[in-house]
Amino acid sequence: MEYRQLGGTEEKISAIGLGTWQLAGMMGAVDRSESTALIRGAIDGGVTFIDTAELYGDSEQQVGKALSGGYRDRVFLATKVSKDFTAAGVKKALANSLKALGTDRIDLYQVHRYDPLVPVEETLRAMASLQEQGLIRYCGVSNFTVEQLQRARRVAPIVSNQINYNALNRSAEKRMIDYCRRERIAVISHSSLAKGILSGKYAPDHEFAADDERSTFPGYSGDLFRRVLAVTGRLEQAAEAEGISPAQAAIIWLLAREEVASVLVGPKTESQLDESIEALAALQPAGRSALRHKMNTILDSSDLPPLCPFPDQLV
């Protein structure tokens, strides 16, 4: 495993992080009986960064169960306040998360999104108070723009921004990545495989099941979906030339940026988890940069818009 610094802190987290949105069945059926083995397998494989949220169905409970028996002290645990961003809402959400996760502190507590109806100052002051009480160690945000991040930082020290960032959504490269590098704020990528589209597993005629959130996303069906897969087909050829899988190429594309502290992946199976971890050993730094350049050349020659299901995640 490879470990990277969390922004301007002295903490180091695994370059591959375990996301847990998929464990709640939001992207199709999952076998919940296997989640403990999956999470513990990730930790045993060197993953120290685990990310969840109050919005992720019963994922916090599944993570809490897996972290019993001594596993909690082996990880840097992150979760998010996702629904009510008022001071009272933040306090209540954290109490619920601590109970669900079976822990007495959260290592990284994140604001899941910017809420225009609640002053971000109120949200961050509440988080700073909880930090002073020792209930959270660090404050982070998710899906914030540069301006929103600047505003939040006037209230509390922000160590990370978790953003929708992948080879099919490079919008963060316009401003966010450079800003985070200058200010020593960690970039954590979510949707690292573009909700699985960069895995190379889908044909142009694929239709996502009704219980899969992707069935409602723009760009995940119809003509745009076919155009996207035509581009990912070329990316898959670049991966094959390196002897790696398309998913590993997508992960390496992110790892080539030093600003990215951790690449979140959302495996449903242990084999998918192993594939992600093995990407770390696939190429040396020079090889990572060369592959990223090759992939960017392919992407630059396409006329695809950013593949991002939620407009507020175009940071």
d(CA 83, CA 189): 21
- Model pLDDT, residue 13: 98
| 223-236 residue pLDDT tens | 899 999 999 999 99
Active-site option among 3, 56, 109, 179: 56
Residues sharing a CB contact under 8 Å with residue 48, sequence separation 6 or more, in sequence order: 1, 3, 13, 14, 74, 75, 76
Note down the domain range covering 253: 3-313
DSSP 77: E
Is residue 66 over pLDDT 80?
yes
Of the given ranges (30-39, 69-78, 133-142, 189-198), which has the lowest mean pLDDT?
30-39
For residues 118 and 86, the answer to whether their CB atoms sit within 8 Å is: yes
What is the predicted pLDDT for the residue at 282?
94
Mean pLDDT score, 230-255: 97
| Residue 33 reports pLDDT greater than 80 | no
The answer on pLDDT for 293 being more than 80 is: yes
Over residues 170-193, the mean pLDDT reads: 96
Please determine, for residue 312, whether its predicted confidence score (pLDDT) is greater than 70.
Answer: no
- Closest-CA residue to 21 (of 305, 315, 309): 309
Tokens 């076998």 map to which residue?
31
Provide, for the chain, the percentages of residues in helix, strand and coil under a 3-state DSSP scheme, each rounded to the nearest 5. Answer: 45, 20, 35
Q: Kindly report the pTM of this predicted structure.
A: 0.94
Establish whether 56 is a catalytic residue.
yes
Nearest to 62 by CA among 16, 89, 26, 116: 26
Q: Is the pLDDT reported for residue 280 higher than 90?
A: yes
Task: Tell the residue number behind the tokens 């990528």, with chain if given.
Answer: 189
Q: Which of 8, 9, 59 is nearest to 264 (CA)?
A: 59
Residue ranges of alpha helices (H) inside 102-244 are 120-132, 146-153, 176-183, 222-241
CB-neighbour burial class of residue 154 (10 A; exposed 0-12, middle 13-18, buried 19+): exposed
Best CA proximity match to 42, nearest among 209, 271, 300: 271
Does the structure show a pLDDT above 70 at 29? no
Task: Please report the pLDDT score of residue 26 as a whole number.
Answer: 67
* Identity at 284, one-letter amino acid code: Q
CA distance linking residue 215 with residue 202, whole number of Å: 13
Q: What is the pLDDT of residue 313?
A: 67
Indicate the average pLDDT of the chain.
94
- Does pLDDT of 314 surpass 80? no
Q: How many domains does the chain have?
A: 1
CA–CA gap between residue 40 and residue 265 (Å, rounded): 15
pLDDT reading at 75 higher than 70: yes
Are 182 and 130 in contact by the 8 Å Cβ rule? The answer is no
pLDDT at 27 over 70: no
CATH number at residue 298: 3.20.20.100
Give yes or no for residue 269 having a pLDDT over 70: yes
